[in-house]
Amino acid sequence: MKYKNLLISRYFLISKYTGIIIIFAGAAILSPLLFLLAFPEESSLAPHFLLAGGLSILAGLVLFTYGSRHQEEDVELSLNEGSIIVIFSWLGAIFFSAVPFITILDMSWSHSIFEVVSGWTTTGLSLVDVTTAPKLILIWRSIMQFFGGAGLAVIALSSLLPVHGMGLYMAEARSDKLLPHVKRSTMLIMKIYTFYTAAGIILYYFAGMPLFDSINHSMAAISTGGFSTQPDSIGHYNSLSIEVVTIVLMLLGTINFATHYTLLKGKVKTFFKNAEIRLMITLFIFLTPILMFFSLNSLYPMLSENFRITFFQIITALSTTGFSTISFAGWPIFANFIIILIMLVGGGTGSTAGGIKQYRIYLIFKSIYWEIKEQFLPRRSVSSNYLWRGENKFYVKDQHVKDVANYILLYLFTFFAGVAVHTAYGYSLLDSMFEFGSALGTVGISIGLLSPEAPLGIIWTQTIGMFLGRLEFFIILYAGIKLFKDGVYISKH
């Protein structure tokens, strides 16, 4: 009986925190209205956003007051409870954010949810026709990516709201600590993030992009989202300087915030020792020439053009952003296969990117190397293996390697399951791998399979893939299993 009361009081706490985050999501839905100052001709759309934002704030308030009524004192949150809060606040945010797409653009529920999940998870696959969509909708898509990149829980933790707890921070797939306190860490993350976005807007503007597009593209690039205001993405501008700015922003977005902090403190040497940076540089050095000379040189005979195009697409895939300057549909199979592999690798841990994450890939290759090396060492030798993470040496234990290997296997398993669903709908193996790899890694480049006419099964498979890929599986499993177990216990007693 006592345990049951304890459990129930925990769920009140969960409801309170979820409420706070959903209220915040409601405020985010209202934020596009600021742009009415610049585009007063679209003021007729305001009621739609007010409706969605109002509903969200109302729902959050109900959860919050209901949760805080039964609360005795502030207790600590475990990782499992943090997971439940994160999942429910993400689901709530996704649900309410979809409302403007339904009421303004008259899209179906499935399509709107797809678009919104693609926004919040910073994927960038889109079903909206950006040529006819109103400006408020365009900016709302970018704002979703901006907030989704940082993560709802991270923003809530960084704010002055009474939200704290390590469990919440870990649950949103952000485990690196920048400073020895979670509130100050998240504040620092938000400062770095906002600063880069503002710098991106200015750079784009000077590179010759209109101001409205600059704001949208900068938010979408730093968050490694990839929503564009043009139907053919960055390729629309056909400008070298804009592409260079995009490459820089995508790289910044895909680097771990802890690594950024090392760099900002001026420790350049430690920065280049970092596991993820090393893997990234190695990949660039090997893959760019391979793609250029073994596959694309017939397509782009000019060397400079070949380099420009290849390098851009490799970065867009590795950083899981999803801007593109060309159409992948015409590429040779080998080139597309390499792009699929890069999409599976993905960006850095603790950044805004998706995929398996460079750190995990690097660790697994290192551990294979360590295993071979130890085979040839004297029998009684003792070695401790380490790699660089953030600004510290990190000594790798077997348990850690096991966790990482499990994650990679689970990721690949989900990938193959999703590809299977795609092939069952009759798409070719390459197209299926490309599209689902893009959704699961929250990349957002498309080989042309996705369109408003695509079957609903495909739309939902990709929606689930994006959600799983962003929140890193285990959190969803933990939350689901805990909810189920507690539910069974409470109903039994």
Nearest-approach distance from CB 261 to another protein, in angstroms:
13
Place of tokens 């007693």: 493
Nearer to another protein, 155 or 419 (CB): 155
Alpha-carbon distance of 70 to 443, in angstroms, equals 42
Class of residue 190 by CB neighbours under 10 A (exposed 0-12, middle 13-18, buried 19+): middle
Nearest-approach distance from CB 131 to another protein, in angstroms:
47
DSSP 307: H
Residue 485 burial (CB count, 10 A): 12
Nearer to another protein, 191 or 373 (CB): 191
Nearest-approach distance from CB 177 to another protein, in angstroms:
6
Nearer to another protein, 31 or 78 (CB): 78
The angle formed by the CA atoms of residues 224, 179 and 248, to the nearest 5 degrees, is: 25
Nearer to another protein, 401 or 458 (CB): 401
Nearer to another protein, 45 or 182 (CB): 182
Nearest-approach distance from CB 65 to another protein, in angstroms:
24
Nearest-approach distance from CB 389 to another protein, in angstroms:
13
Provide the angle, in degrees to the nearest 10, between the axes of the packed helices 474-492 and 79-97.
Answer: 100
Place of tokens 């959903």: 22
Residue 388's H or E segment, with its range, is strand 386-389
Structure tokens, 334? 């080998």
Nearest-approach distance from CB 393 to another protein, in angstroms:
9
Name the residues that contact another protein, by CB under 8 A. 76-79, 164-167, 169, 177, 179-185, 392
Alpha-carbon distance of 392 to 176, in angstroms, equals 11
Nearer to another protein, 66 or 386 (CB): 386
Residue 141 burial (CB count, 10 A): 29
* Phi, psi dihedrals of residue 387, rounded to the nearest 5°: -145, 170
Nearest-approach distance from CB 31 to another protein, in angstroms:
29
Class of residue 46 by CB neighbours under 10 A (exposed 0-12, middle 13-18, buried 19+): middle
Nearer to another protein, 38 or 75 (CB): 75
Nearer to another protein, 165 or 437 (CB): 165
Q: Where are the alpha helices (DSSP H) in 257-384?
A: 257-264, 268-273, 275-291, 303-318, 333-345, 358-375
Q: Are residues 149 and 223 in contact, defined by beta-carbon separation less than 8 angstroms?
A: yes
392: helix, strand or coil = strand
Nearer to another protein, 186 or 229 (CB): 186
Q: Which amino acid is residue 75, in one-letter code?
A: V
**How many residues can be counted in the chain?**
493
Rg (C-alpha) for the chain, rounded Å, is 23
Nearer to another protein, 76 or 305 (CB): 76
Nearest-approach distance from CB 76 to another protein, in angstroms:
4
User: Is the dihedral angle over the CA atoms 204, 209, 214, 216 positive or is it negative?
Assistant: negative
Nearest-approach distance from CB 79 to another protein, in angstroms:
8
Nearest-approach distance from CB 369 to another protein, in angstroms:
24
Which residues make Cβ contacts (< 8 Å) with residue 106, sequence separation at least 6? Answer: none
